[in-house]
Amino acid sequence: MGSTGRVVCVGHAAFDSVYRIDAFPARPTKVRASRHDHSVGGMAANAACAIAALGGEVALWGPIGDDVIGVRIREELHRAGVVADPAFIVPGARSSHSAIIVEGTGERLIVSYRGDALEAPAALIGERALDADVVLIDVRWPAGAHAAAARARAAGVPVVLDAEMGNVELMRDLVPLADHVIFSETGWAEWLGYSPGEAETAGGLQSLVAAGAQLAAVTLGERGLLYAAGASACPGITGVAYLPAFPVIAVETLGAGDAFHGAYALALAEGVGVAEAMRFAAAAAALRCTRSGGRVALPSRPEVMALLAA
């Protein structure tokens, strides 16, 4: 794998304040944080930072307000090596931000404020050139996600959808436009309308592939992931395949899913097959869980390749 892939990430950018505590209290009270960090947040923005850390070329198409939070988001993106076009700054809009509480086991509580910048129209994208090998979209900027996916589909650029919970109507709109659909476990349950068993999940993923997706997958955290793929995308694999998670000692799970999506999109952009891209993404997500610190904790390519080799 080289580092020549170009990815455009479309969707949510936020500013995260992360507080680390020993354990969640049994009831509301005052708790002293042992550490405080801040970083860029949001699904698309996190994925973009992961791609940059892995050596890929990446741009973020995501609306940000012209407020103080927006300034800090742009500063963090610049430090990460992500191209953030100032055309996506929305005058008078409020940017998204979150307070994230991480306990000693690595689990977290997220309190988020969804800024109205995400209500921006698709006109922000305009006729901007889609200079990418892959487009990664999330479900937080409805107008932009649909416009970018349609533009990519028309141009023959593969679309990866981060199908997270929170907007099932938009998911239903975007899934037919995506070539690679990757659900979180909660997003998958929301898509189906109930929490499925393994057999139901297998049948549902195969149905999406039969409907035209090259890949349909559900990530299961430390339990790995299940995926189905078309014959042309993943020769030799029929039915639903299981990929176990890499065994690591988890320190923090914050942003691991976004790192997975970013690494997967980058691997596709570099011409890697689906099965190998899945392993690359799983390794990147596992390494993200082994350290704390937001954006600065994202793994580098040599670290991912070393884990794969081991």
| Confidence bin at 243 (pLDDT 50/70/90) | very high
> What integer best gives the mean pLDDT of the chain?
93
pLDDT, position 3: 59
Does some domain include residue 1? no
pLDDT, position 252: 82
What percent of the chain has pLDDT above 90? 83
Does some domain include residue 170? yes
pLDDT, position 214: 94
pLDDT over 90 at 293, yes or no: no
pLDDT, position 295: 80
Whole domain around residue 186: which residue ranges?
A: 6-309
Does some domain include residue 295? yes
pLDDT in tens, 69-80: 999 999 999 999
pLDDT in tens, 184-213: 999 999 999 999 998 899 999 999 999 999
| Confidence bin at 228 (pLDDT 50/70/90) | very high
| CA distance readout (Å), 234 to 133, 155, 200, 284, 291 | 19, 23, 22, 21, 32
Question: What domain count does the chain have?
Answer: 1
Does some domain include residue 92? yes
Does some domain include residue 125? yes
Q: What is the mean pLDDT of residues 104-115?
A: 87
pLDDT, position 4: 77
pLDDT, position 253: 83
pLDDT, position 1: 54
pLDDT in tens, 154-177: 999 999 999 999 889 999 999 999
Residues 6+ apart with CB under 8 A from 44: 9, 10, 11, 12, 13, 60, 61, 62, 136, 137, 138, 140, 141, 162
pLDDT in tens, 250-279: 888 888 999 999 999 999 999 999 999 999
| Exposure string over 77-103, b if 16+ CB within 10 A, otherwise e | beebebebeeebbbeebbbbbbebbbb
273: CATH: 3.40.1190.20
pLDDT, position 2: 54
